[in-house]
Amino acid sequence: MTEAGERSRLVRENRELLTQLQESNRLLKALHDVAAGIAGEAHVDRVLDKLMIAARILCHAEAGRVILFERTPGDDLVVTTAAGAGADALRGARLHPDESIAALVALDNQPLVVPRPTEHPRYSNRFDEMPPERPGLVCAPLRHGSILGAVSVAGPEEGEFGAEDRDLLAILARQAAVGIDNAVNHERSLNFFTHISDIFVSLLEHMDIFYPGHSRSVAALADMVTRKLGMSDDERRNVHFAALLHDIGKVLVDPAVLKAERITEAGRRSMQDHAALGMQILKPISLWSELLPLIHAHHERWDGKGYPRGLRGDEIPLGARVIAIADAFDAMTRATPHGKHRSPEQGLTELEAWSGSQFDPTLVPVFVSEYRQRGHQLPPE
């Protein structure tokens, strides 16, 4: 080969290597971006949807599907959830471990490229068939913690699926399995929040007989404000549950004080302990650690004349300032022996009168405006 020919060959090979490197970098960046998006998602359904879309894009596939399994005592598998092509028909379906390619991949924890899926001995019409007419299937396991499942793509947009598609899908699946496990644990924690909160609220209402529905009403009013403020899902969740449990300390107050139609000065001082007592009750539950400052501070005042610590202004957590307004409004607008009963409009006027002294002056207008627009949409007590 002449020197000029050799140079031409080297230039051509360098260009090919550069193109391959650029494509590898693109894929690595895409994997990184997808992994970051999945890791930050707290809902299982959204994680599965993101995974399915990413799998199709990375492998240039026409269709995709994600299936999560649960083992039964008899070693069969049940589809707990699914996303993608044909997902609706699969949820809740039961299958034998050797019935499908997806189950094989999930249980063996090894990715597969299957050029002719219908010819594979484990192929199942129920669990492996997808819409594309062009043959070809890539399947990778989803395994992490309690997660058992598989992600599949079918129908290469051009050519055939190869080892690169298998490896890319396997990398994506490993990262996604961690995100799915995190989202499952998050949803379990949320269920814990919900069920235990309901138990606590029911107990409180049994004791605090003049305020039935108060806790749930305060939570609904707080939700109305946090939505308008544009808080993140996690922030809104914390305010919601803190609002539900803001009075839980009252279960440690003398029941005679809670049931008295007229509260003495001694009884009033006893009642003022409930913010600190609420922290005492909930502190052992680490999952509720972010709620404690909100519950502790929901009777602080903007001017610093509240309790239990005399915090003022921005020293009071934002969520506690929201709960303080919702709590006062609901208390004012319900008939009890403990104060003048006001109509909703009178309650809003009262909030405006105490804006800048008892209540955050930036939050009162938000509450008033939102209540006038959406108060009729709030759930009944």
Task: Output the pLDDT for position 20.
Answer: 45
What average pLDDT score do residues 202-210 get? 79
Architecture of domain 3-183: 2-Layer Sandwich (3.30)
14-18, 58-62, 260-264, 310-314: which has the highest mean pLDDT?
Answer: 310-314
Domain ranges, ordered by start, for the chain:
3-183, 208-377
Radius of gyration of the chain (CA): 29
Instruction: From 239, 215, 227, 214, select the one nearest 374 (Cα to Cα).
Output: 227
Helices (H) and strands (E) in the chain, counts: 15, 6
For the cut 60, the answer to whether the pLDDT of residue 17 exceeds it is no
Instruction: From 260, 222, 224, select the one nearest 336 (Cα to Cα).
Output: 260
Is pLDDT larger for residue 337 or for residue 293? Answer: 293
CA distances from 60 to 38, 69, 118, 270 (A): 20, 26, 21, 67
Task: Output the pLDDT for position 21.
Answer: 42
> Count of alpha carbons within 13 Å of 186, Cβ hemisphere only?
18
Find how far residue 64's CA is from the centre of its chain: 24
Task: Output the pLDDT for position 345.
Answer: 94
What average pLDDT score do residues 152-178 get? 90
136-140, 187-191, 253-257: which has the highest mean pLDDT?
Answer: 136-140
Banded model confidence at residue 252, pLDDT cuts 50, 70, 90:
confident
For the cut 80, the answer to whether the pLDDT of residue 372 exceeds it is yes
Task: Output the pLDDT for position 18.
Answer: 46
Whether residue 124 contacts residue 153, with contact meaning beta carbons closer than 8 Å, is answered with: no
Find the helix packing angle between 344-353 and 318-332, rounded to 10°: 130
Whether residue 121 contacts residue 106, with contact meaning beta carbons closer than 8 Å, is answered with: no
CA distance 121 to 363: 65
Task: Output the pLDDT for position 55.
Answer: 87
Banded model confidence at residue 154, pLDDT cuts 50, 70, 90:
very high
Whole-number mean pLDDT of the chain?
Answer: 85
User: Which phi and psi angles does 326 have, rounded to 5°?
Assistant: -60, -40
Task: Output the pLDDT for position 113.
Answer: 96
For the cut 80, the answer to whether the pLDDT of residue 79 exceeds it is yes
DSSP-assigned letters across all residues of 223-264 = HHHHHHHT--HHHHHHHHHHHHTTTGGGGGS-HHHHT-SS--
For the cut 90, the answer to whether the pLDDT of residue 363 exceeds it is yes
For the cut 90, the answer to whether the pLDDT of residue 260 exceeds it is no
- CATH class in words for 208-377: mainly alpha
Whether residue 292 contacts residue 282, with contact meaning beta carbons closer than 8 Å, is answered with: yes
pTM of the model: 0.65
129-143, 186-200, 293-307: which has the highest mean pLDDT?
Answer: 293-307
Token pair in block for residue 4: 């000029």
What average pLDDT score do residues 18-41 get? 54
